[in-house]
Structure formats: structure tokens, C-alpha cells
Amino acid sequence: MSPVSNTRRFSPVARVAGSLALAVLTGIALARAADGDLDPAFGGGVAYAHWATLSTTRVQLAVDPAGAVFVTAAATASGSFDYRFAAAKFRADGSADSSFGFQGLRTIQIDLVEEGADIALGAFVLPGSRLMMLGTAEMPGNASAPALVRLTAAGNADPAFGSNGRRVIASAPWPLADIDIRFVARQRDGKVLFGGWGDTAPQQRSAIVLRVDAEGVPDPAFGDAGWASLPVPWPSQFKSIALDADARIVLAGWDGDLSNTAHVPLLARFLPDGSPDASFGIGTGYVRLVDVPSAPPQGGWISNALAADRDGSLLLALTVDEDLDGMAAGIVRVRANGTLDTGFGIGGLRPLDLENGTRIDALALRGDGRILATGKIQPTGGGTDVLVARLRANGSLDPGFDGNGVVRFELGPDTDMASALAFSAGKPVIAGYADRGTDFDAFALRLQSDYLFVDSFD
């Protein structure tokens, strides 16, 4: 695999227990202000959130119009399943916003069961610098339910929302124990989507979407009392969601159980009212991408991240079952009708065969058609670092981004990975977690850009 020549290594930074620690980056030449460089106006480029005694996972981010960055995560003590929603706020200059929560940090528990696993999946900024956090709350009976938490600008649970700032959707047309909610999205009208998969009948797997209004109430005009389902092959799973320019809802995942070797990328598309889109694929509303080139020999390709372009086409990041095929990644473009665009990349695939393997966990599009991708890379010698890549619209690597289209950021000595990507005034903002000692800390990283406008359906 090809090496990534452009690497940023950061010196260790002292952590502040129970507060945000802002990285002071040393040994980095920042004189050249080019795409792919860290933004020195964001505290040197990287800021960290450290919750004392807690580790973070499922890190996501939200950016407000003034440039403030919210990082959210599921946080728990090492070895515990007592997860809680966690949020951190950075100002536009990368410093901790001490007016939010406790020194820029807030954790919220729902605890419908004692020490339950309350998993944050994402967040969106509301007017007045409030924050809506979305995820799931563990319920009795080995089930989890969609949950919303609204925070005030001060980072406190909003007493005007639900029950002490929390609302749980505790009923569905199917047993909640048979539903797995994994991702969230927000529509242009402010309504919120929860997506995943579920068993809607014996041996019947379905793509699942719940739509709620700004107060967290299921939308009766969507599907069945707010819940929509689309039958897919058994035992499919889904990993990501996107809204296209026509407000259609697309879920990306795979057909096949990870315990066997038959994996095929899978896309399911709903109309805005929650009904399956019969114009997608062969009338079923779903598409199996069986013709993606260069499939890994053991497990095949798996969909991992998704973004929608203005023309209705979809950008899809592919990964593999790492237990079978190590680490590998690629990006494809799927036309609006569900067929593979073979003019993209090399025969339809942009492989990202770099060093000892890569994985792409987030995609985003600029208004000029360029594609940003981020995730992790395994360099020679072990561990993982943050990977960022930029492609042209045709799937070729963009040499205007850090010289060769890819850059690696080594935040710590062991495990670093990115899982979220957004834009702030045209600049890419990336979030994830880094192993910086005994815990995994969340981070936000902002890059420079000469582009002033980004693609957005919000």
C-alpha cells in the first residue's frame, strides 16, 4: 500500500482533569497556509475534551453559525456499561467555552434503568446557542429507545423540553427490543430523523426511520405514527444516513451477517413521507451494489459512510470486515437511480490503499463538488492515526489538498481516529477520539481552506 508522506506529529500535551485541555502543538511548521494545514486560529489546530475518569466513543460534532464547535460523545468509565450523553463546547478560536456546563463540559444521564447505557449519536445546534442531543436510552427488557436531550446555552438540561430536558420515544409499531437505532439526521424544516434497522416480522429485516418534530414528538404524517420501515434482505444492517436535495432519506449499510463472508453494500431510500421509493433499484426501494470492483477476497465491501450530492447521486465510503480482510477502504459514487457510476475513480472505485490500511468514517461535500473524507489509517509500526483525504468530483485525489490529496495526523502514540466531519465558514472541522493516556479523549481539529462556501442542504 502507498505511504502517506504528509504527516503531522504532535508533542504530548498535559490534560486538565474534568475540563477541556487545549493542545499546544510544537514542532509544526505553520508558516504555509494551505488546504490541509491545521488552522492556527483554532488554538493551533486541535482542541481536546477530557472528562475526568471517562472515556469517549461515537464522537460527533455540530458547528454553530458563529463558529463555535460542539463535540458530543457517549462517555463511560473504563470497563463500565453506564454510558451517558457527553458534550463539550469550544469557541471559534478553539478555547474551551467556560460559560457552557462546567468549564466547557456537560454530561447528561437518562437512566431509565440503573446504570443504563445512554448512547449519544449526534447533535444539532438550535437558535440561541442551545444544543439538541440525540441518541438512545436503555430501557427495561434489554431494549433501547430513541432519546432527545435539549441543553440551554449554559449547557444545562432545558426544563422547557420534555421531562427535565429529556424526552424518550418509548413505543413503536414493533417491539423496541427488535430495533437497533444507530444514526441521526436533521431535515431542513428542523424535524429530526433516527435511523437503523429492525425485525418487523419473523425473519423479516427492515430499514427503520423515526421522524420527530422539534419537540421530540413523533410525526403522524410520516410512515406509521412517525415510524417508517422498508423490507430488505435478511440479515442486513445499516451504518449511516443522508438526506438528498429532494428530501429523500437514504440509509447505507450491507446485506449479510458479519459472522459469514457474504457482504454486499446496501442502500435503502425512503420518500419524504416515509414510504419506500419504488423508483430506486428494481422497485423495492433498496439496491445491492454487487458490481463494485476490487472486492476484498474474504468478506467483501461494507458501506460505512454516506453523503448526498446536489444531483441526487450518493457518495459512499466502503470498508471491510477487519477480522477477515484487515483494513481497507474505498469511495464510490452511486447515481440517483441506484446504479454504480463507473466513471468515478478507477472503474467506479477510488481505492484508498495507504500504508497498512485505512477506514473512512465520515464524508462531506463542498459546493464545488470536491469530496472530503476522514477516518483512520494504520501506519507502519502499529496504532492508528487520523486520516483526511480530498477527492475531485471525478474521484481522483486532489493534489491541491496538502500536495497529494491525503494527510495523516498523529495525535497520540497509539489509537487516534476521526468519526465526524463538518464545515465552519468553509473550513473542515473534524472530530473523533484519541488515546492520550488512560482514557480516550474527544478532539476537534480544524483545517485551513481557501474555499468560502460549502455544499449544504440545511
Average pLDDT over residues 237-251: 97
Average pLDDT over residues 231-259: 93
* Separation between Cα atoms, residue 390 and residue 371, nearest integer Å: 5
Higher pLDDT, 298 or 189: 189
Per-residue pLDDT band for 306 (boundaries 50, 70, 90) equals very high
| Averaged pLDDT score across all residues of the chain | 90
* Separation between Cα atoms, residue 141 and residue 157, nearest integer Å: 27
pLDDT in tens, 208-233: 999 999 999 999 999 999 999 999 99
Indicate left, alpha or beta for 41 from its phi (over 0: left) and psi (-120 to 50: alpha): alpha
SS3 content of the chain, % helix, strand, coil (to 5): 0, 50, 50
**DSSP E strand boundaries for 23-176:** 46-49, 54-63, 69-77, 84-90, 105-108, 119-126, 130-139, 143-151, 166-168
Residue 298 CB: number of other CB atoms within 10 A?
A: 13
Report the pLDDT value the prediction gives residue 456, as an integer from 0 to 100: 47
Asked whether the predicted pLDDT for residue 452 surpasses 60, the reply is: no
Largest CA distance in the chain: 62
Report the pLDDT value the prediction gives residue 30, as an integer from 0 to 100: 34
The residues with which 421 forms a beta bridge, in sequence order, are 430
Asked whether the predicted pLDDT for residue 391 surpasses 80, the reply is: yes
pLDDT in tens, 269-281: 999 999 999 999 8
Asked whether the predicted pLDDT for residue 22 surpasses 90, the reply is: no
Cell triple for 396:
481522483
Report the pLDDT value the prediction gives residue 206, as an integer from 0 to 100: 98
* Separation between Cα atoms, residue 46 and residue 37, nearest integer Å: 11
Q: Does the predicted model carry a pTM greater than 0.75?
A: yes
Report the pLDDT value the prediction gives residue 33, as an integer from 0 to 100: 53
Element counts in the chain: helices (H) and strands (E): 1, 30
Asked whether the predicted pLDDT for residue 25 surpasses 60, the reply is: no
Report the pLDDT value the prediction gives residue 457, as an integer from 0 to 100: 45
Report the pLDDT value the prediction gives residue 380, as an integer from 0 to 100: 82
Asked whether the predicted pLDDT for residue 346 surpasses 50, the reply is: yes
pLDDT in tens, 125-176: 999 999 999 999 999 988 999 999 999 999 999 999 999 999 999 999 999 9
Per-residue pLDDT band for 79 (boundaries 50, 70, 90) equals confident
Domains and CATH numbers, the chain: 7-446 (2.130.10.10)
Per-residue pLDDT band for 32 (boundaries 50, 70, 90) equals very low
Report the pLDDT value the prediction gives residue 6, as an integer from 0 to 100: 61
Report the pLDDT value the prediction gives residue 260, as an integer from 0 to 100: 64
Percent residues over pLDDT 90 in the chain: 76
The length of the chain, given as a count of residues: 458
Cell triple for 423:
464545515
Report the pLDDT value the prediction gives residue 5, as an integer from 0 to 100: 47
Give whole-number Cα distances, 117 to 77, 83, 416, in Å: 12, 5, 24
Asked whether the predicted pLDDT for residue 10 surpasses 90, the reply is: no
* Separation between Cα atoms, residue 375 and residue 362, nearest integer Å: 7
**DSSP E strand boundaries for 78-178:** 84-90, 105-108, 119-126, 130-139, 143-151, 166-168
pLDDT in tens, 378-390: 998 778 999 999 9
Report the pLDDT value the prediction gives residue 9, as an integer from 0 to 100: 52
Report the pLDDT value the prediction gives residue 415, as an integer from 0 to 100: 92
